[in-house]
Amino acid sequence: RGGDGRLTVAVLGGMAQLGPAREAAHARVGRRLVALGVGRVIGVGDGGGEIVAAALAAGLDPAHAVVVGAPADAAPIIEQWTRSGDRVLLKASRYERLERVAEELFGGLASARLTVDLDAVVENLRAIRRVVGRDVGVLAVVKSFGYGLDGARIASALQAAGVSFFSVAYPDEGVALRDAGVTRPILVHNVLPLEVGKVVGRGLSAEVWSEESIMALAAEAERQQRPVRVHLKVDSGMGRAGCVPGDAPRLAASIRDSRWLRLDGLMTHFASSEDPAADDDTRAQIAVFRGALAAVTEVAGRPRWVHACNSAAIARFPEAHFDMVRAGLGLLGYVRVGGAPLEGQRPVLRLVTRVVSVRELPPGQAVGYNATWSTGDAPATVAVVALGYGDGYPWSLSNRGWMVVRGVRCPVVGRVSMDVTTLDVSAAPGVRAGDEVVVFGPGDGEPELEQLAAAAGTIPYELLTRLTSRVRRVYLGSR
């Protein structure tokens, strides 16, 4: 394993159409693997065998290499060698069909799998940059451990793409990002007095809006002899957190006068920026915030980062971009304004599971707890799928949700159970155990995350953060 504790496994097949140069090319690849410190090598077929032979000749430990005849044979070896966070490279000429390794590997992980497209996350960042311009920074909100998607992985991809800032809800989330190698500034929104030591000690920034929070940070910074950057939050009308606008100059002066605190940012939060019916309220918030900015600037100078816009406001209120914008769900591709997605957004998630069993039911047969659905006057074919409220699929989707099986929209019938959900698959002939079921995804005809949230009477944020660890996360991307 490398210095970061992560193992790199290369699964390599032959390079076609090289003619006489094939063997020499394979030998160069094998030697290069050893030079790069790749931890394990799996060769697929004759070409992969030649690469492994060259790697062994260059000094690769024989215990760290194996040759298999078919792509599917590589999957159990990868599963045996790797653990969470390790990297696997699949590379060969197209005819080798190494995608079968991924199919076998992912299929064996768990019935319910959430695929996260990290390349799409980065593309969404670029789309936001096109909207705000090169002079405006982008803060990536990765609180609740990246909305349940693994904040460290999301942050690592965005850091490599040059994001300006990150923010989290609590100090422990910031500590986890630091431990994962995130070096960009991290703003913590909620800091209890007993947690100021983590903020100061790990080089985090803190949101403040009271004299008490400023004093607690200043005292800890003095104790550790380390400066702390803070962002003063102004309540411009949301009524949840932040100082009243009239107190902003006084608090800014307190930060200015502290030996160890640095006023790095001024911020506010909009209550209804996605709702056109509340545009007057949002514009009123912008006006209040501008007044506070002017007053703070007069007392303590203009902070480096002035920020107000969340994902919806980025598109709708360009006059409020200031020095930086904050994007959370927008980076995942799920912000809608007036029913339409933001320009350039790509949904990054796909949740799938498997059919456990299929049954033919007679007319009048009830299904599920409390018999809330029955087949009625005609027989029906029902499939039990491996996903329930124990995985985070909402119980409120009982008799309301739908999934896609074999390209056909199939309704949820009966109550959602802890571990399974039942679908009416009568319209999808030939369904059998093991078939893939799409719970939500970006493909044509697949349920959209927003649709499921609306049917469940909730919001996309809640659906994502409630997915439990039993739903395995699979990360795709070139990074």
Active site (catalytic) residues = 143, 369
Host H or E run for residue 42:
strand 40-44
Quote the tokens at residue 286: 């912008």
Rounded CA separation 254/257 (Å): 5
Residues 6+ apart with CB under 8 A from 430: 406
- Reading phi first (left if > 0) and then psi (alpha if -120 to 50, else beta), residue 128 is in alpha
Vertex 429 angle, CA 385 and 445, to 5°: 70
Residue 218 · residue 256 · CB < 8 Å:
no
Question: Are 373 and 412 in contact, with CB atoms under 8 Å apart?
Answer: no
Tokens of 389: 């409220």
Residue given tokens 């104790």 in the structure block: 223
CB 271 within 8 A of CB 237: yes
Contact 50, 26 (CB under 8 A): yes
Euclidean distance between CA atoms 163 and 172, whole angstroms: 21
